[in-house]
Amino acid sequence: MEEKMFTRGGMDRLQARTDRENFPYPRGDGKVKLVNAAWLANHLHDDNLTIVDVQPNIHDYIQEHIPGAVYLTEGVLRVSNRGFPGSYSPNACLQESFRRAGIEADSPVVVYTGKGTFSSAGDGLGQTMMAYTLAKYGHNRVYLLDGGIDTWKSEGGELSQDYPAVEPSSFTAEVRDDYPIGYEEFRQIKDNDDVVVLDARPAKVYEGKGPWRKAGHIPGAVNLPWKSLMDEGNPALLKSNDELDMILEEHGVDRSKTVICSCGTGREATNEFVLLKWFYLYPNVRIYEGSFTEWVTHPDNPVVEGPEPREARAEAAPAR
């Protein structure tokens, strides 16, 4: 019965979701896994565990954080490059940032964020952005805390205002360049029948209400707002697998195809990349880091406004 319900995903997807309650999730050797507050509470004092707090503002961290967590702002991950605003920082800069946080490539690191008790500026994306970047630059055991610090608190987790004594690590940045897809390759394959392009931005932005020089979205991109995958009250908490399955089916996210995750600047897309590649074990997932920002820097590239992936083509009037 379930096989018929999930025809595109089939048994592969069902197998990937059967052990959601067994953490770290899923099983196997994936670079990024999901853990929950109960798992972290049981492993909080493991000698080889590093906890990274990526709350939206340093004052959020100062006011409260999970015991032992080191603050690592998401802002170090990207800088302008030749004027383009959404480029990743140089390898040496990321390497030094991870070293100062005491992160070792083969030791587990738990990443979490929150709404921000002080700033109220958290949107939930900090932890997928950090998890993706760690894995891209060579980390092998990234654990993402489902629900972040807000779920941790709601389940009675201990909080601290102490700063841990951190010894710098010997982390070496080694880029896994099979995760992102560059502009030229993206442009060449995005319209292929075996490719699905997702746009993770909110529907109103996808349809044409964003800040870019051109309004709308990349032709052919299917709108799958990343927030639709998350709990309504906590943007760092994933919905149940049953709910996620239905959403993916409704949007035609077929695991037999290459799925390219995109958004506005490549940040929102990390949410869907992490979900599909590492939690749902899709075999061919890429992330277009340049996303819509890069697409519209090329004046000749077309865009589409409105809710449909492509513009409706009016049929020619019959000859009289």
User: Following DSSP, what letter does each residue of 293-320 receive, concatenated?
Assistant: HHHTTSTT---B-SSSSSPPPPPPPPP-
Please give the average per-residue pLDDT across 227-245, as a whole number. Answer: 97
- Work out the angle at residue 201's Cα, subtended by the Cα atoms of residues 199 and 203, and round it to the nearest 5 degrees: 100
Contact assessment for residue 75 and residue 130, using Cβ atoms and an 8 Å cutoff: no
Residue 314 Cα to chain centre, angstroms: 37
Say whether 263 is catalytic. Answer: yes
* Least confident residue range of 9-13, 189-193, 203-207, 232-236: 9-13
Tell me if domain 31-154 and domain 183-295 are identical in fold.
Answer: yes
**pLDDT value of position 146:** 98
User: Is a pLDDT exceeding 50 seen at residue 3?
Assistant: no
For residue 85, the SS3 value is: strand
User: Is a pLDDT exceeding 90 seen at residue 160?
Assistant: yes
pLDDT tens per residue across span 47-76: 999 999 999 999 999 999 999 999 999 999
Delimit the domains of the chain by residue range: 31-154, 183-295
Please give the average per-residue pLDDT across 254-278, as a whole number. Answer: 98
317 or 171, higher pLDDT: 171
**pLDDT value of position 12:** 56
**pLDDT value of position 20:** 86
pLDDT tens per residue across span 93-144: 999 999 999 999 999 999 999 999 999 999 999 999 999 999 999 999 999 9
**pLDDT value of position 311:** 84
**pLDDT value of position 13:** 56
Classify domain 31-154 at the CATH superfamily level.
Rhodanese-like domain (3.40.250.10)
Class of domain 183-295: alpha beta
Contact assessment for residue 225 and residue 253, using Cβ atoms and an 8 Å cutoff: no
Please give the average per-residue pLDDT across 232-260, as a whole number. Answer: 97
| Catalytic, out of 105, 110, 145, 263 | 263
Contact assessment for residue 67 and residue 53, using Cβ atoms and an 8 Å cutoff: no
**pLDDT value of position 10:** 54
Please give the average per-residue pLDDT across 223-244, as a whole number. Answer: 97
**pLDDT value of position 212:** 97
pLDDT tens per residue across span 270-294: 999 999 999 999 999 999 999 999 9
Tell me which residue has tokens 């360049």.
Answer: 177
